[in-house]
A and B are shown apart, each in its own frame.
Chain A
Amino acid sequence: MKKTPLYERHVALGAAMTEFGGWTMPVQYTGVIDEHKNTRTRAGLFDVCHMGEIDVEGPQALELLQRVMSRNLSGQRVGEMKLSAITNERGGIIDDVTVYRRGREHYMVVTNAATQEGDMAWLLKAKEDFGIAGAVLTDRTDTVGKVDIQGPLAEKILSEIAEGDLPGLRFYHAMETRVGGMNALVSRSGYTGEDGFEVYAQAGRIGEIWDLLMHIGEPYGLKPAGLGARDTLRLEAGMMLFGHEMGETVTPFEVPYGWITDLDKEFIGRAALKKQKEEGVRRKLIGFELVDRGIARQGYSVLAAGEKIGEVTSGTFSPTLGKAIGLAFVPVRFKDPGTEIGIEIRGRRVRARVVALPFYRRRKTGGQ
């Protein structure tokens, strides 16, 4: 099990630790609901050093990425960040990643923790198969550290130690800057549905950035937040998690990733996805809320007329909304908001209703 450079700090803070994607990660410090609400109202600090970073460099860097990414990156400018899926030949999702363009011939692909090795192997194979000699791949996961600062006060806190025009940084844009005097890449983005930033720096210096943010952020009410809150925050924001909503048997058109899939360019999986788009998908990922009491969890059956029609992919109690919410796959005829479905909880049928995503939308403040 791998430990992030911040491991000792989590233990000192009394965090409950858990295994996630091969890493020992903090699941909570004081409590999921407390950390969740603090991130929504003030700011939360997250250790996300477990995520993978792969540098793609050289004159053919873009050419390689175009072959593996569902997203068309041809128009991506330096300083822009794009969400994309990587799909296999059948159109199934191998990973969902963010791609940063850091220079004319320099991209950084940020992967999920559990998929990082597979992604690296996939990119290397594509480079080989397509004979793209002018793209060099380097796995930087162990040398890059990453923390996310998220919440309405994130900009104020980070501005105190980050150089450059942070307030002017637009959503899904990044800047090469210095944070606490250390070289860093900062993007306005995140996985919580709040305004906030992702901060990348050398793994050996990320602890100093964490300490500075904790210190500077204290009067603002910044608190560390664990994977438990990260999960409830992203779910309220209707964001998907690889291994729950996505996997190799799920295509971008079955989940809300059609918008990052460009069938007008050539990439692995395009033919299968084009066919699926023409024929129409059979199932869709939907959001639901429970009408009766209870909490739906991953793997529970979705019911209609006494039959199992689908499965819950994520489910929890929403701290912001005060009710049970979840995501599930259902046949397309059940996809519309307002549709009544059932969820089987410990042998009992509990009533639920399809609702539009996201469950929670912040009031716009900065960045967009």
Chain B
Amino acid sequence: MAKPSPNDRKYTREHEWAKDEGGETITMGITDYAQEMLTDVVYVELPKVGRKVRQAEPFAVVESVKSVSDIFAPVSGEVVEVNQALEAAPEIVNKDAFGEGWIARIRMSHPAELDGLMTAEQYEGHIKVAPR
């Protein structure tokens, strides 16, 4: 069973989370539900620091043994930091998707976008009906 989605962040329909870190910066990753669906994350392709991204643009890749999945930017902005630990230990995404398994930090160019994402409660409702 997937861990409950924390209330301190927002969610996308594509199973990314975005947590407001203040200073118009967010940390993002994939949800516990997403890692559970993927199982066995064996490779994470991180975006380059400094890359400008638009909301919903694929900007990272997570691979399991069987599948290749695009990760979409939850908000527009500039990638200011990436989780380099995932290069050597991609399985951290499976172990702690909401914490140590974060993927990137983005400085938002349109902070209002964050308000438009789903709340934890809305996301929990979304995955109840989302196809496996």
Q: In the complex the two chains form, is B45's CB within 8 Å of A28's CB? A: no
Q: In the complex the two chains form, is A317's CB within 8 Å of B43's CB? A: yes
Pair count A-B, CB < 8 A: 39
Q: Mark B19-43, 1 if CB is under 8 A from A, else 0.
A: 0000000000000000000011011
Most chain A CB atoms below 10 A, which of B40, B43, B63, B64: B40
Q: In angstroms, how far is the closest chain B Cβ from the Cβ of A213?
A: 24
A316 contacts which chain B residues (CB < 8 A)? 65-66
Interface CB pairs A-B, < 8 A, 9: A28-B39, A28-B66, A33-B65, A228-B65, A228-B66, A232-B65, A293-B43, A317-B42, A317-B65
Is B132 positioned at the interface, with any CB of A under 8 Å from its CB? yes
Is B57 positioned at the interface, with any CB of A under 8 Å from its CB? no
5 interchain residue pairs of minimum CB distance = A317-B42, A32-B65, A31-B39, A33-B40, A228-B66
Q: In the complex the two chains form, is B132's CB within 8 Å of A346's CB? A: no
Q: In angstroms, how far is the closest chain B Cβ from the Cβ of A233?
A: 11
Q: Complex: how many Å from CA A32 to CA B91? A: 13
B63 contacts which chain A residues (CB < 8 A)? 295, 317
Q: In the complex the two chains form, is B42's CB within 8 Å of A295's CB? A: yes
User: For this complex, into which size category does the number of interface residues on chain B fall?
Assistant: 10 to 19
Q: In the complex the two chains form, is A27's CB within 8 Å of B66's CB? A: yes
Residue of B42, B45, B65, B87 near A346 (CB, 8 A) is B45
User: Told that A32-B39, A231-B66, A316-B66 touch, could you supply 9 new A-B pairs with CB distance under 8 A?
Assistant: A16-B132, A228-B66, A232-B65, A293-B43, A293-B87, A317-B42, A317-B63, A317-B65, A319-B65
The residue on A at minimum CB distance from B42 is A317
Q: Complex: how many Å from CA A317 to CA B39? A: 13
Is A297 positioned at the interface, with any CB of B under 8 Å from its CB? yes
A32 contacts which chain B residues (CB < 8 A)? 39-40, 64-66
Is B85 positioned at the interface, with any CB of A under 8 Å from its CB? no
Is A294 positioned at the interface, with any CB of B under 8 Å from its CB? yes
A228 contacts which chain B residues (CB < 8 A)? 65-66
Is B49 positioned at the interface, with any CB of A under 8 Å from its CB? no
Q: Complex: how many Å from CA A346 to CA B71? A: 14
The residues in A between 231 and 248 inclusive whose CB is less than 8 angstroms from any CB of B are 231-232
A295 contacts which chain B residues (CB < 8 A)? 42-43, 63, 68
B66 contacts which chain A residues (CB < 8 A)? 27-28, 32, 228, 231, 316
The residue on B at minimum CB distance from A345 is B45
B87 contacts which chain A residues (CB < 8 A)? 293
